[in-house]
Structure 1
């Protein structure tokens, strides 16, 4: 949504920061005009308020009282009872996470902390962050965000994701070097990852820094952790949590977490009780490793939509590889230094081959100040020498024995990391090295140049899709630890298309509500809705608006009908749809020209539910009329087109399969059974039942 002029955006941010509380007019004027409001400021403020009310309540009838942005005797306020604010949801997730942690449920805590952090999009209230009334709230939220991030890492450690924590907290501590709890967690993660010396080095570094900058000693917890690591205390060792459904929340963000059914397998060698499907992908990786062992190095890319299980697949492969696997990942919730994933790979390689000399440029990278490298620097001079040293260091290690370098979540890589990837790929075919790179398919344009460079060599591509219906049933049974009926499994598959993250969240909701036999009518899980809407929000505004209208039409929609209602020219609508297709949200119907469908039913439902009832009703009437005109232009009469029956505007969204023999010119959706959950009109009477 386009909020308008900068001061109008600042006004909304100010009101949101004080949601539920009136903000006095003089405070607003002070904040918007930095203490120097002009004589016309009051007139401008009233115009901004009027504009915001039109945006927040587009369907409000003229001269009726505003219900969202209200006027009170003390100023203006946003009514907290009728608005949904990310800050409130973030606090709710944080509170739920801490409660789960207190009752020794790290899996549930991890899911709540992940959901809360996924709501962040940079600094809180950047437009008014310096306003005196907002400064305390910004500081509170930032401290809460850092604490939730640390607790997320604590939950990851509790479920066994040591390597993931090393990657995430390593970058976090570069930016927040005096966070003692973060340092305590990082040292434990390093110790559990077999890096005792690095764990002690982290503790020494913070001790020196606290002494020099603050004149204080570390707290008792850090001192105790140092003694435990020196003595290799058994209490530091990880012990599996009871086998319950678990979310492996690496650094995929919005990338949503991956799904397994026991404690997650974060590091090579971890024991996984259940791993469903992916036989073809595992076979491809195994064949690529066999070629590398024979001296014909390979590069393999693993792509797929968020939550499809890329990290889980790579962890499974690493367990069975039987050769050294060096892992690097790009974190999501913190800004990482340039070449950060390569730094992780090189540290692991150095620890595995301590007898091999480390080239000077590599040592400089590992010992660097995080500000010493500029992101995206040109491949000239010192940068090129550093790249050459890294390539020789890694390829020389693979001369006598094969090894694997895995780069996870590389769609978030910095430009220098992408350039180094392309540089190393040129040398891979001549060595016993397997290079595996994973990324989100909807982020592929970011890696376009790097992928083009990889394609010039021995490149194999693995495009992960959702689990099939059989594997969906197997995974559901493993999660629930009971037999799942075929009908339930088919319902789960219809709602999730086998996406493991969607599947796990839906099963958790169904199990909690004791309605496992009825997966088709369950609401969209909150975490899935947040992920889906976040993906849509990343699209250009016209694409997001078009998808919102299409979702009211149904999961399957005729683009000509939707374009007429938006309204927009059909050529422009098709161009807009290209961005949604590239993002993996929509696919073209291969059976009916001009028809498209949402990739996931749950995405359609999430968009449908976020459209107000009155707007839905108006859109449904317009879609019905447009569909009638579409039929009139085809083989049917206008009179027949006018007879479409529209469902109630608050009806839930249906899950209608494609018809076996599609009609020549169907309307807003294909025919559906009278008992289905409908929001789309059936066909004309002449095509009726």
Structure 2
């Protein structure tokens, strides 16, 4: 077949932070400061020859060793060994090559962070100039996401490195300006302000940043703050540089004073909450398919994408949903039904995705009622194994719901519009480009010979994108002829029209071939990873890997090896989230079969790890809570699946303990529906031991209190409280405290005070000062309604002054809420604003995202303080927060009247713009600090 072309594994260089190297997405070890300096010097000049003299000067400066040339050769050899561990003696070096009297690092711009950053920044600038703000935002975010710290962090300042760092820092600041501008152009002023504020502090002399801050504040309805921004800029420039603001700032200020209509910018983009998977891959050859399916969408209708396994139904559905989401007031939502095992799971998964409370015997009916009046696009993916249940759900949905379903078969509904998705033409450019992208060579221009080989590979796979992607990833390690030989083993598989049986068999053969090429330890790890559901982290992989130190230490290398062999996918990186991996569905199926054929106990290790993870979560409100919550979120799929398993064990006591330990996280991170489902399953078990049943019933009752289902909650409490009060178990006291605090949230104040008194006494009896303080704080709150509110305020302030309270976030939140309510009674909104601001600060520190109660209270304080726009923004944020938690809005008497009064007091357009702003603040998540806006 002519010359054998080998596609090497992708080596990526991270130099925007500590200098590190990744091999197919997994980090490799690089030790030695001088080796890192050599690499840095080569990276700065990637693609160019760097002389030995320049490298010697970069490493040693004027402190040369006696044999500098030989010392440099040693460093180069060590670097090469790290970058090309699989090189044979007969092959030459291919990453760091000798060239004349020097060395050249062969790396594409996209594989060097600093170069990819500069390129993305330039492309973002071009996109904004072309009016493509959405693309500009994506490129600017991608560019800035590459930074992990100061450029070349850890290397000393040297004459050759200082200007490089300075230039990169300047480009980074400029890219920040592009990011902010894109947000402004897209009608997202709140996010723009949140993004630009730290940039102004870092670069106070960049006038464009001041202008963007002022414009963002102005467009968000904070004109006074916008004008104050000009004064701040003037002071900084005058005091630090002795200059006046430039003409651009002056003109902008004058326009704001004149209320120039052009300053309003684009129409406020409605909040479109979507649950579409992040980091979607590029689609090849599917633009016509996306357009055709989009044309089938209509309210009250169901469009379906059908076709064989691996044809790309999910990818096309995601692209259609992303394009259609802005045209649906309540967004597009993606429900993955691969985890559905029974008919009842379909509606439950849909409700969980939509964050709507829907339980009881008729989940489908409840969900349909909750969706009345909502304009959403609901994507139901992978329906083939639950067709009847999906059809029943679709028939029950209101006429405002648009449905897009995917599966190997249609739903066979009268109003269904089916679109059959065909495989890609195997000889077409789209299939070739898709293969090269999967091979890590998206910019390569293949020769005619390469195209012929790739076309033959795609033909052997029936043109199925999943098979093409898997084959392309294998081409990172093996040459094209080797890949072609492997896929030709079953020439009858994965052909158009032979969708289910042959497609599955051929892909299984592909996976078996890949696994057979692995090292024995990699094969074992492959099977063990099948016990992890959805995206998983390195910590989860270590948990199932084995108990010995050697097994634990090998995990990073094993994950790198499996990634290199296309048996693992590295998920798109998210800020603040550890690296996540995923086994593609057919690969995970093969891995599960491998594990089942062994006597490995990886599943038991996973269950043990989840138990340990839950027990390690600090008591709610203690330091370390935010970190623990983030750790749970990173592996939430595996944790949830494991708890479901534990609940079916012969002895579910452990599961009940785990759930009670995690219910605080579920509340604070808007996952109450998940916890409620766990507890409902638990209390249905007839074989629970008495204490476990009491814990489960009381905890479920607490969730019912939050939902104001008071009668049902009290029925559970009546059965469980006697045993909890008698028990000396600390968990029982913790649940008593939960009952007291959730009764307060559910406006069941008298009952909350009664239980708080019991909880305080029990906490004192078994020496639990932390719980005692929370109970005492709840009793203090109850004094608001049993005596002069001012007395409750004084008691709250006294408790807040105690050192122990500062380490008890739950007590602080309760006491701040008490002081805030006291401010309402006293008619002192300025005090209420101070206390609600403190509540938001505490919640931010603890990683609490469910703050609807505080936001509603703060909105009323703002209204009383004569700040109608800020109050409306805060009320909108509260309403959005409640909706996400499946709670009713408003929660408190009088709020609806206040909102109506405010609505009547402002122009309709300003009301809509402000309400949308408040909703956007919640939709932005951690991207916008609540305290900065409300």
Give the TM-score taking structure 1 as reference length: 0.44
More helix, by proportion: 2
Query: Larger Rg: 1 or 2?
Result: 2
Give the TM-score taking structure 2 as reference length: 0.34
